[in-house]
């Protein structure tokens, strides 16, 4: 099960911390699409930040 940090939240894909030096939004999006969205839809994902008591979801969600 992947841990995605700030790159993929529940029901939201964000730019993460692109304000850091050498941040690359295109590389982040490419990584999300190629590495995460290629996983099976029922893959459980633990993401950063729990704003609505949603501790995890799936790639399909």
5 vs 14 pLDDT, higher one: 5
The two structure tokens encoding residue 9: 């939240």
Q: Per-residue confidence at 7, pLDDT binned at 50, 70, 90?
A: confident
Q: CA–CA separation, 30 vs 24, rounded Å?
A: 10
* Residue closest to 37 by CA, chosen among 10, 12, 60, 3: 60
**Tens of pLDDT, residues 11-60:** 665 555 556 677 777 887 888 889 888 999 999 988 776 667 777 888 88
């Amino acid at each position: 099960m992947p841990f995605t940090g700030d790159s993929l939240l529940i029901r939201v894909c964000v730019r993460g911390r692109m304000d850091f030096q050498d941040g690359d939004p295109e590389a982040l999006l490419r990584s999300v699409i190629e590495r995460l969205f290629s996983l099976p839809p029922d893959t459980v994902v633990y993401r950063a930040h729990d704003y609505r008591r949603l501790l995890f979801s799936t790639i399909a969600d």
